[in-house]
Amino acid sequence: DAGVIQSPRHEVTEMGQEVTLRCKPISGHDYLFWYRQTMMRGLELLIYFNNNVPIDDSGMPEDRFSAKMPNASFSTLKIQPSEPRDSAVYFCASSNEVARGYGYTFGSGTRLTVV
Amino acid sequence: GEDVEQSLFLSVREGDSSVINCTYTDSSSTYLYWYKQEPGAGLQLLTYIFSNMDMKQDQRLTVLLNKKDKHLSLRIADTQTGDSAIYFCAFSSSGGSYIPTFGRGTSLIVHP
């Protein structure tokens, strides 16, 4: 099992550009989570999906952020337009119904820098 | 205050024991976790403990839970330089759909 796979690992973009982050969860996991990590705010849950359906997006900071999960093996987090304050490390994590009380599996993250 | 509080830094000498502490607010917590984040990597689940347990030991790791004081600690015996990382405390409960609430993390620095 390759674990949770995120791409790209690093992204540098100019303010105002669209940014798309990608995540492939572990096969068989039906929960997928997007987190953002910054020095100022720590680890924040942005949104999570169950069976490809968004369950709670209350952590999405603004309408500039959107997330989709078109199928069980792929999810995207899009920022449009991007701003310097969006610079952070974005993590994807996945779990299944049985395991979710026992902790999640995180991807390696995407470090986003908006200049 | 925050739901999960941890000190930001801990510095220890190689070979000594490290104790990382955490306090949480949710008395209905069912699971309590310790995650480890190495530089440039995602969070990795180290260990977890059920709320009906007081202690859990796994090789060099010992987790202690004081439910009355809502205090969780992680002890690492014989700390090595490879243990240098950020350690996150988290808890979850059925009321929160088992979504973990994370602390800000404690940076453990191990020096020779």
The residue-averaged pLDDT of B68-83 equals: 95
- DSSP strand pairing (B71-76 vs B55-58): unpaired
Nearest to A103 among B42, B45, B105 (CB): B45
Contact A101 B31 (CB under 8 A): yes
Please report the pLDDT score of residue A98 as a whole number: 67
Distance from CA of B74 to the nearest CA of A (A): 16
Average pLDDT of every residue of chain A: 93
Q: What are phi and psi of A18, to 5 degrees?
A: -85, 140
User: pLDDT for A7-51, tens place per residue?
Assistant: 999 999 999 999 999 999 999 999 999 999 998 888 999 999 999
Please report the pLDDT score of residue B2 as a whole number: 67
Is the CB of residue B19 less than 8 Å from the CB of residue B75? Answer: yes
User: pLDDT for B47-70, tens place per residue?
Assistant: 999 888 999 999 999 999 999 999
- The CA distance from B112 to A107, in Å, is 31
pLDDT at A61 over 80: yes
